[in-house]
Structure 1
Amino acid sequence: MRKVLIVDDELLVRVGLKSTIRWEENGYTVIGDARNGKEAIELFEKHDADIIITDISMPLIDGMELIKILKSKKESLKFIILSHHDDFKFAQEAIDLGVVKYILKHELTEAVLLQVLEKLNDNDQGLSNGNPEQGMQERKHNDELYRWFNHRHLSLEPEAERAGSRPLALFKEPYFIVSILMKFHDHPADRSTEQMMHYYKIIDHVSRELADEEHISLFLVTGGNEMIYVVQANEMPLDQNKLKEFMLTVRKNVKRITDLKLIVGISELSETRETMREAYRQAKRAQELGFFQNDEIWSYKKENQASSHFPFTLDEDRLLKLLNQRTTELESYLETMFNQLYHIKNTAILQEVTRQLKKLAVQLRNEKQLDPMEIDEAAPIEEFSSFSELKIHFVALFTKIADAIPQDEDPQHYSYHVRKVIHYFKENYHKNLSLAEVADYLQINKSYLSVHFKQETGVNFSVYLTKLRIEKAKELLRTTDKKIYEIAEEVGFDSPYYFSTVFKSFTQLSCKEYRDKFYVL
């Protein structure tokens, strides 16, 4: 007999559970009932228990705190939560603590409760909540299988033999392979094993709850931010469309309790164990297509084979020329390039192109001495949720780089007089310059100079000079320990207060913030 403890502050609930459920007939015995968490702990310490059925909102010690306390006393203890509210703010924590089911009180019947209790005796494979030694052994088998899925040269037989009576050995054909990639909104480089186990548990818990209702069997393998399910229908026939609907429901429920985005690929139906790795390859290809189509769930079809007939080469010289010229053709070029990559729909090619783009961005940042900007050269395309998100990121990055590249101080396409003005600015930016003074220096009409300077450079005399002074000030802030007032005077500002105001209007940072962020000595 498995021992059950009932905890609820409502008398009718406690009496109803004790009197209407045929406990003894189904292999259970109720060791007692408690009105709150404090009483429950006292009863547990006297009589022990295997299963706790508890409310959440109770006086003295509530349900969630009770679960934490009793879990620390008995790791194998299982919990079923009863509540009046569909309160998902507790769901993540409850899953981590080993809660088997979250049942709304108005849905509670003998059949529902017994079905949940029966799950505790099932041998269905899931994420281990058992003793540490068993958990380590299961983790080892899991890692072996994950490596097998991802490395064609490895054989399945040793892993299957070592797995012994694990559910994979009991799985019957036909089946589907489903690959789930977890996308994190903050794009972290690494997550701890404990953090990943937390997310595995949440997704697996939701998946199995829904699988039970649909009479679907699941076998799980995990690795990194990926979960692989071998999926088999127990009773009703299962096809890709039904499985996609099932995964849509899983994704919807996971979103209610986490901020994860799930990218799902579904294989074709496989008839033999020998085709399992090929089915996994299909699921991964389906994920690729989902990435390009901005569809989070995609089913593989034979016509979805990856294209290898469209080699792509990044024209770095062309891109560099457009960046340096700061022409409107830059966006058009990037748009055309990404349209070609979208047509190819090959993540290996896309991965290489994005690697080259990041390398080029770093090169330009260093060569042009641009303000330091964060560019993660090692980050994979998996950091993006979709192709469109990746495209937006790189178009914005290179537009930002183009805007940051200082204008050529003596561009050949400028007229003689404008080139002379730029040279004069370079030599005298620290002085109190005026348009009249520069016109006198060139011995030309002041109005004529003003009009033609703006026509050719795109900005007026004072804006161009101010931008030059701010660039010089940024260099001094990055590379010297000079005081702010000293830098202001050195680049041609009479007032350090006015200089500080202008500097922030151009950079969105105060002088101190800029130095703190970009100081390189």
Structure 2
Amino acid sequence: MRKVLIVDDDTIIRITLRSLINWEEMGFQIVADAIHGEAALAYLKDHTVDLIISDMKMPVLDGIGLLEAVSHFAVMPKVLVLSGYDDFKLVRDAFRLGACDYLLKADLNGELLRNMLEGLSKEWANEDEAGRASAAEEGREKISDSERLTAMAMGKCGLDEAFFDGDYLVVQFEIDEFQKHAGRFAGDFEGKLIKPLLEFAAQIPRVVSRCVLGTISPSRYVMLYRILDGGQYQANAVSTCRQLCSVWNNFLNLPVSAGISSKGNGAGDFHARFEEAGGWLSLHWLKGKAAVCSPWEKGSVDYLAAKDAFVRYKRLTVGLLTADEMAVSEEKQKLIAAFYRSGLSSAKQELLYLICNLAWILNESHDDIGALFAEKVNYYEKIGRLEEMGSLELWLNNYFRWVMDYAAHQNDRRQADMMSRAKHFIMDNYANPELTLGSVAGYVGLNEKYFSSRFTKEEGMTFSNYLTEVRIRKARELMEQTDLKIYEISQSVGYNSVEHFTRVFKKICQVSPGAYRK
């Protein structure tokens, strides 16, 4: 078994990674997890692992710090990086420090993770250094422009000056609601998604004549648009992106949004233009699905200003997405007072910043701000139609209520999912005498006291009674189907003491284990 260490400060991500696939079937075992890089290094002092799956942004010691440390190990484990859409600079640094691959958190699903692990298993199976060097040399000879663009964007290789000769734009594309569409491709993202998507793009003459399109991840793509048309390049670039998005939607049934950078020149500008394109793409939530965003749109929100607003609205956004009535009420009063002081125009801009931050937080948790309403919403248009502060305040009050109602529903659904995971965990571990309320609560990432009350409410019995029922039911099955001795059955269902097992069995079944077997 290949040993795996998960490093992420987000409990939900750690739980998700554990539950997405059957690790042992694939030859992997998750031996531990850690909430930051320092905790991971403390574990690695006394233990060796084959694979580290690490987030990039963590408190105490981040993913880069962890990579710098493990890069000095006598034998460096393979490192798979977890990142958000705005972490590409960190991903490039990670590759320079020896990371073997990366996975966007928004793409996280069982099929993609399984594909990555299969690829790593093949690497381990072919650890012959001479063979790897030969394969790498062969790969360099055959690499396409598309692959070269991807490698340079992600920092897997140096920038080629000749590749960026002249003026250009960088575009990032994203498949909207990727998680909803991922299941259609049955785990074969390369053959059933990426290849057809690139092939359809290659049927468009102006894409072929001036563009290079590369794959960042199954949900995210990068395009270099070479400027060959002087003063008309802005309109032509937008038109080209809209045509691409339309083709992908019509023939692959995939809604795709795009973000276009300002003009760059030479290799030195590329990474900045790449990051800028991602920034513009992140604003597409304000326009709805299948939107094209660029620096030339009048009235568009500034990405960096919206990002800076995160600190101002952190308590409010957290309150909205946890349906915290008190926190939202307090922050809303402050917000409306500030709006009246600043005036209508400034208030509209700030409201767009706030909605941006809500959208980004929802997207990080595999949710979609578009799900708030049945119809597609263009927030620029909706907020633009508010002509005085009174109507803006009324709309804001209604909007906050919609968000909190949606968040409460989603939280209830997630809690139900957690209870389902808890019961699966109990079924997988009932034979362990050390299984406790605390260990199950920790597995699903909930406070022990809250988990206990929630479990009792959901199941109509306490955790202890539920576990006892599971164990006794399994014991009865073993008595009916096997010739195991009573003490062996006792141990098989999690009881160290056969006397205790006998008392519990008789209390529930009204007969002793021996009498039940007869």
What is the TM-score normalised by the length of structure 2? 0.37
The higher-RCO structure (CA 8 Å, 6+ apart) is 2
Flag the structure with higher helix content.
Answer: 2
Larger Rg: 1
What is the TM-score normalised by the length of structure 1? 0.36
